[in-house]
């Protein structure tokens, strides 16, 4: 659990949580409290208080707020050799904490009281008195802004007079890269000090030596780093040494954004050789394909959206997914068991929503529907009070909440979220984790007695949960259930996506107070310091909306169902009985799919079988007969070549015009090759008769690419048009002319350079010279999605086998995966070089690059897993057989290479 991980650094009874919010711990000295009797302990100087932490654990920790002090003075003794000088503090309030070493609400003792302390190191006494007097003056200033400015000046002076102790380096040969002042951020508190980054380690050394003299993180262990918005300013940096844990190893707040960025890029440069940087799109693709669980995906989105377990004002937010907390059995197959994930919590109860909307419509601008947020420090500690009581005491000035308001029952909490006038909170990751301690009062805290007389103890669980562990197990199962997997994208749209703000948010009743949104107000523009501090405090305590990650609808998760055409027009044939033949076909399909998976697993083992220079200019396209025996290729040299794979010799060479041929394909009968040309025409070549069979003069500019399905030919052209033709022979003989009937003209805003069909011919994708991708419904010829995808010409575009995604490569050296349903670009890979052509299986891509190498990409991690030298010029054409065991490539070097997969 996040809090416990941070707390594990020290077993001391003292904690920074004993300080006030935004208070600093400056220095400590071994001393004696000699007020009534001599008690040895640690005297801690803080920016707003003095704390005495006795060694004897039965003695309470004593806290004296400086604002309540009437006099602080040095008491000189007559015989300084025997009796050292002391510090005398006359105050009007003393706070006693952890009496008898029990975590409990603080005891405040008011009234004039004189406390006296002696230091073991006598020479320090006078210096400490002067520091306390200075801090006392700051605490007594009338304006909060003036107080903060004076304390901040004291802190910066201390940081400027100190530096990182390089004797702490683990290796004498380490080379320091940068050092600067920072604060280590933990829930509700921060600790100032110095960071030093070397060629091997990141070090943090606290100014006060707490909780340890130095914290070290080896750079080779770092897996993820995130820039953070801390206190509404771009000053935070969080470092993770794990791939999936939501608790970081250190969270740092810098005083200058430039320092933060330099440290970030220094660590990122080191990580380039060890790990890949992930984006929301790359995580989305992994989630869609089932490589990330719903839980893992939500954690990653929270991290990318500035949510951190070290910042309670931006703690990770998770959804309520279950709506049934009263039944005796949890049925995860029943949709009624689940909460409607398309609505925010405030809109789940129509009666309450109607009241809120009536108030909203009568409200002056800026209007909001909900007066409280779904995540705030108070809500987080509401859930976690049993495991981190000190945090609750810190947040609430040494008190627990009223027993009737403390988290007591899952069912009651859910009911209040549905019906309460101001309660719209969501959940936290712990509800889907493995540690159930936050649901149990293992610390035996005295949390009070409710109005019904019941002591507040363990959380009352739903009837369907036998104990806390069982509750979490079933809650996790609900999060990963079929229903939630199918609808989670709707909740993501509300919290991280396009329904987070604007008119879309209004339509789905998802409007919170303007101050909760990122960029809602610029605190630095407020000149009055007191007003600025008050505004910042209000924002941090009220709750903050996550950084918006998506501005278009989030794609749904891919589930095992037939989905070859858009959902709005999908027609799935009903089959009541399965014949033995169909079962055998399914078995064969399964075996084929297993073979493909095995092939892609070993794709890095491609071995060159033979190489043939049969063209005079760059190869533009490759097609292979169904039996794999004959290879056809086109080239910019205007020829169509027929090559025997078995004999390894050129058998025919055909020329149709004096301009380049751009693509070729073999019709289903295996007797006809169709070629497209830069001369605006399409040529049909009869293999049995060895001659041109027909010519289709269909465009006003070069025909760039073609595809064929079910007697329909789709031709793409630089004239900004894709044309659909019905091609039918007259039936008398295969060599006689074909009939071409124009069925549709699909207009574009720029020349079309690439085109492709999905496996069942229901969808068409086109890629243009302006970088635009358009997805068409071939039954209606309507444009379903139009996406500005690349910044340059699109070279190649292909559907995934399940028709859920489209992969494109372009002149901007990017590979992009676009979700068919939403049109969202869900993966964006920037390659080192321009990619010209590819084959892929949905996760892995075999690309032909501008350098002539074949690159094997893992799209889920955005990394190149293998580079295979192939051509001396750009790879311009690629073909792969159904079992993915044979690859043929063509290049600008005029070579055609044949590859075989070796297991």
Q: For 184-220, how does the pLDDT look when each residue is reduced to its tens digit (9 = 90+)?
A: 999 999 999 999 999 999 999 999 999 889 999 999 9
Structure confidence at residue 888 as a pLDDT band (50, 70, 90): very high
Query: Where a domain ends, among 490, 517, 542?
Result: 542
Which domain CATH number covers 10? Answer: 2.30.29.30
For residue 607, tell me if it sits in a domain.
no
Q: Rounded CA gap, 656 and 662, in Å?
A: 12
Q: Rounded CA gap, 411 and 459, in Å?
A: 10
Clarify whether residues 231 and 99 are in a common domain: no
For residue 771, tell me if it sits in a domain.
no
Which domain CATH number covers 330? Answer: 1.10.1540.10
Q: Rounded CA gap, 612 and 624, in Å?
A: 16
Predicted local distance difference test score (pLDDT) of residue 203: 97
Q: Per-residue pLDDT averaged across 547-565, rounded?
A: 73
Return the closest-CA partner of residue 485 out of 230, 212, 297.
Answer: 297
- Which residues are CB-neighbours of 520 under 8 A, at least 6 positions away? 514
Backbone dihedral angles phi then psi of residue 871, each to the nearest 5 degrees: -130, 160
- Which residues are CB-neighbours of 359 under 8 A, at least 6 positions away? none
Which DSSP state fits 555?
P
Q: Per-residue pLDDT for 6 more than 90?
A: no
Provide the CA 103 distance to its chain's centre, in angstroms: 37
Structure confidence at residue 730 as a pLDDT band (50, 70, 90): very low
For residue 786, tell me if it sits in a domain.
no
Q: Rounded CA gap, 382 and 430, in Å?
A: 13
Structure confidence at residue 78 as a pLDDT band (50, 70, 90): low
Clarify whether residues 248 and 378 are in a common domain: no
Q: Per-residue pLDDT for 700 more than 90?
A: yes
For residue 620, tell me if it sits in a domain.
no
For residue 809, tell me if it sits in a domain.
no
Structure tokens at 273: 């050789």
Structure confidence at residue 583 as a pLDDT band (50, 70, 90): very low
Predicted local distance difference test score (pLDDT) of residue 400: 95
Q: Rounded CA gap, 476 and 315, in Å?
A: 19
SS (H, E, C) 279-335: CHHHHHHHHHCCCCCHHHHHHHHHHHCCCCCCCHHHCCCECCCECCCCCCCCCCCCH
Q: Is 420 or 733 the better-scoring residue by pLDDT?
A: 420
Structure confidence at residue 564 as a pLDDT band (50, 70, 90): very low
Predicted local distance difference test score (pLDDT) of residue 70: 95
Return the closest-CA partner of residue 801 out of 757, 766, 836, 835.
Answer: 757
Q: Per-residue pLDDT averaged across 356-366, rounded?
A: 94
Q: Per-residue pLDDT for 733 more than 60?
A: no
For residue 346, tell me if it sits in a domain.
yes
Q: Is 525 or 431 the better-scoring residue by pLDDT?
A: 431
Predicted local distance difference test score (pLDDT) of residue 8: 47
Structure confidence at residue 273 as a pLDDT band (50, 70, 90): low
**How many structural domains are present in the chain?**
4
Q: Per-residue pLDDT averaged across 151-170, rounded?
A: 94
Total-model pTM: 0.84
Q: Per-residue pLDDT for 525 more than 80?
A: no
Clarify whether residues 147 and 196 are in a common domain: no
Q: Per-residue pLDDT for 567 more than 70?
A: no
Clarify whether residues 505 and 409 are in a common domain: yes
Clarify whether residues 676 and 726 are in a common domain: yes
Query: Where a domain ends, among 708, 723, 747?
Result: 747
Structure confidence at residue 574 as a pLDDT band (50, 70, 90): very low
Clarify whether residues 337 and 265 are in a common domain: no
Q: Per-residue pLDDT for 10 more than 60?
A: no
Q: Per-residue pLDDT for 135 more than 60?
A: yes
Query: Where a domain ends, among 512, 542, 572?
Result: 542
Structure tokens at 288: 């869609």
Q: Per-residue pLDDT averaged across 228-236, rounded?
A: 89
Q: Per-residue pLDDT for 112 more than 50?
A: yes
Clarify whether residues 27 and 115 are in a common domain: yes
Structure confidence at residue 244 as a pLDDT band (50, 70, 90): confident
Clarify whether residues 267 and 373 are in a common domain: no
Predicted local distance difference test score (pLDDT) of residue 548: 95
Clarify whether residues 420 and 537 are in a common domain: yes
- ∠ CA(577), CA(580), CA(585), 5° rounding? 105
- Per-residue pLDDT tens digits for 35-76: 989 999 999 999 999 999 999 999 999 999 999 999 999 987
Q: Is 535 or 827 the better-scoring residue by pLDDT?
A: 827
Clarify whether residues 463 and 323 are in a common domain: yes
Q: Which of 475-479, 509-513, 591-595 bottoms out in mean pLDDT, i.e. has the lowest?
A: 591-595
Q: Per-residue pLDDT averaged across 418-442, rounded?
A: 96
Q: Residue 232 belongs to what domain range?
A: 166-277
Return the closest-CA partner of residue 62 out of 72, 54, 48, 52.
Answer: 52
Structure confidence at residue 1 as a pLDDT band (50, 70, 90): low
Packing angle between helix 294-304 and helix 280-288, nearest 10 degrees?
Answer: 170
Return the closest-CA partner of residue 151 out of 67, 211, 270.
Answer: 67
Q: Rounded CA gap, 394 and 73, in Å?
A: 29
Q: Rounded CA gap, 40 and 21, in Å?
A: 27
Predicted local distance difference test score (pLDDT) of residue 81: 54
- Per-residue pLDDT tens digits for 433-483: 999 999 999 999 999 999 999 999 999 999 999 999 999 999 999 999 999
Clarify whether residues 224 and 348 are in a common domain: no
For residue 673, tell me if it sits in a domain.
yes
- Which residues are CB-neighbours of 405 under 8 A, at least 6 positions away? none
For residue 491, tell me if it sits in a domain.
yes
Predicted local distance difference test score (pLDDT) of residue 270: 83
Predicted local distance difference test score (pLDDT) of residue 279: 82
Clarify whether residues 350 and 480 are in a common domain: yes
Q: Rounded CA gap, 416 and 205, in Å?
A: 45
- Per-residue pLDDT tens digits for 338-356: 999 999 999 999 999 999 9
Q: Rounded CA gap, 291 and 282, in Å?
A: 11
Q: Rounded CA gap, 550 and 545, in Å?
A: 14
Q: Which of 220-224, 354-358, 805-809, 890-894 bottoms out in mean pLDDT, i.e. has the lowest?
A: 220-224
Q: Is 870 or 731 the better-scoring residue by pLDDT?
A: 870
H helices of 499-649, where?
502-507, 529-542, 580-601
Predicted local distance difference test score (pLDDT) of residue 731: 43
Backbone dihedral angles phi then psi of residue 131, each to the nearest 5 degrees: -65, -45
Return the closest-CA partner of residue 115 out of 24, 14, 39, 27.
Answer: 39
């Amino acid at each position: 659990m996040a809090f416990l991980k941070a707390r594990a650094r020290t077993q001391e009874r003292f904690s920074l949580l004993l300080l006030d919010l935004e208070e600093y711990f400056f220095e400590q000295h071994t001393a004696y409290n000699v007020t009534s009797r001599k008690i040895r302990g640690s005297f801690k100087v803080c920016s707003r208080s003095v704390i005495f932490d006795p060694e004897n654990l039965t003695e309470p920790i004593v806290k004296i707020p400086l604002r309540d002090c009437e006099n602080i003075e040095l008491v000189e003794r007559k015989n300084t050799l025997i009796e050292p000088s002391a510090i005398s503090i006359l105050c009007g309030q003393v706070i006693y904490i952890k009496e008898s070493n029990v975590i409990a609400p603080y005891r405040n003792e008011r009234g004039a009281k004189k406390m006296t302390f002696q230091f073991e190191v006598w020479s320090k006494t006078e210096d400490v008195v002067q520091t306390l007097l200075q801090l006392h003056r700051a605490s007594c200033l009338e304006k909060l802004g003036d107080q903060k400015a004076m304390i901040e000046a004291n802190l910066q002076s201390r940081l400027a007079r100190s530096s990182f102790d390089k004797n702490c380096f683990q290796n004498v040969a380490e080379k320091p890269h940068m050092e600067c002042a920072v604060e280590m951020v933990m829930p509700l508190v921060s600790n100032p000090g110095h960071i030093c980054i070397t060629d091997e380690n990141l070090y943090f050394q606290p100014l006060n030596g707490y909780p340890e003299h130095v914290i070290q993180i080896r750079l080779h262990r770092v897996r993820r780093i995130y820039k953070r918005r801390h206190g509404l300013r771009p000053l935070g940096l969080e470092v993770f040494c794990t791939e999936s844990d939501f608790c970081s190893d250190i969270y740092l707040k810098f005083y200058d954004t430039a320092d933060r960025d330099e440290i970030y890029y220094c660590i990122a440069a080191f990580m380039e050789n060890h790990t890949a940087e992930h984006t929301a799109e790359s995580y989305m693709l992994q989630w869609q394909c089932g490589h990330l669980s719903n839980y893992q995906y939500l954690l990653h989105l929270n991290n990318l959206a500035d949510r951190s377990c070290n910042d309670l004002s931006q703690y990770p937010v998770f959804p309520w997914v279950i709506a049934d907390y009263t039944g005796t059995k949890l049925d995860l197959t029943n949709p009624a068991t689940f909460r409607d994930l398309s609505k925010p919590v405030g809109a789940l109860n129509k009666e309450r929503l109607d009241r809120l909307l009536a108030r909203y419509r009568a409200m002056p601008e800026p209007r909001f529907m909900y007066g409280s947020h779904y995540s705030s420090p108070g809500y987080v500690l509401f859930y976690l009070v049993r495991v981190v009581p000190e945090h609750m005491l810190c947040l609430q000035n040494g008190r627990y909440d009223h027993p009737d308001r403390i988290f007591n029952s899952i069912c009651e909490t859910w009911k209040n979220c549905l019906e309460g006038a101001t309660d719209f909170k969501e959940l936290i990751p712990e509800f889907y984790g493995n540690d159930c301690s936050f649901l149990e009062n293992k610390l035996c805290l005295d949390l009070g007695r409710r109005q019904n007389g019941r002591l507040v103890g363990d959380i009352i669980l739903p009837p369907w949960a036998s104990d806390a562990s069982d509750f979490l197990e079933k809650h996790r199962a609900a999060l990963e259930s079929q229903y939630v997997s199918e609808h989670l994208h709707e909740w993501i749209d509300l919290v991280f996506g396009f329904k987070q703000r604007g008119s879309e948010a209004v339509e789905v009743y998802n409007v919170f107070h303007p101050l909760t949104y990122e960029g809602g107000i610029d605190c630095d523009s407020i000149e009055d310091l007191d007003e600025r501090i008050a505004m910042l405090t209000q924002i941090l305590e009220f709750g903050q909306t996550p950084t918006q990650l998506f501005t278009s609808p989030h794609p749904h998760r891919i589930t095992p169902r037939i989905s070859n055409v858009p959902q709005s027009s999908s027609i799935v044939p009903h089959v009541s009985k399965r014949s033995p033949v169909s079962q055998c076909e399914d078995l064969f399909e399964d075996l084929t799919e297993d073979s493909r998976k095995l092939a892609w697993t070993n794709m890095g083992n491609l071995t060159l079988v033979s190489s043939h220079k049969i063209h005079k200019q760059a190869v533009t396209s490759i097609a292979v007969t169904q039996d794999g025996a004959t290879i056809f290729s086109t080239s910019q040299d205007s020829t169509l070549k027929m090559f025997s794979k078995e004999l390894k010799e050129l058998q025919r060479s055909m020329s149709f015009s004096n301009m380049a041929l751009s693509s070729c394909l073999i019709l289903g009968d295996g007797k006809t090759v169709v070629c497209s040309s830069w001369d605006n025409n399409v040529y049909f070549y009869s293999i049995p008769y060895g001659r041109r069979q027909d010519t289709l003069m269909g465009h006003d500019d070069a025909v760039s690419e073609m595809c064929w399905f079910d007697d329909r030919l789709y031709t793409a052209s630089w004239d900004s048009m894709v044309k659909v033709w019905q091609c039918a022979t007259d039936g008398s003989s295969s060599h006689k002319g074909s009939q071409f009937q124009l069925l549709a003209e699909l207009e574009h805003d720029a020349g079309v350079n690439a085109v492709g069909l999905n496996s069942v011919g229901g969808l068409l994708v086109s890629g243009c010279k302006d970088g635009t991708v358009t997805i068409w419904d071939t039954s209606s010829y309507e444009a379903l999605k139009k996406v500005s995808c690349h910044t340059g010409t699109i070279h190649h575009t292909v559907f995934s086998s399940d028709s859920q995604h489209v992969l494109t490569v372009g002149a901007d050296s990017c590979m992009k995966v676009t979700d068919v349903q939403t049109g969202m670009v869900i993966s964006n890979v920037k390659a080192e070089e321009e990619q010209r052509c590819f084959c892929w299986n949905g996760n892995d891509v075999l690309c032909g690059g501008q350098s002539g190498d074949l690159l094997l990409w893992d799209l889920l991690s955005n990394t190149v897993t293998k580079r295979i030298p192939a051509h001396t010029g750009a790879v311009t054409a690629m073909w792969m057989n159904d079992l993915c065991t044979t690859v043929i490539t063509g290049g600008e070097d005029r070579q055609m290479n044949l590859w075989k997969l070796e297991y």
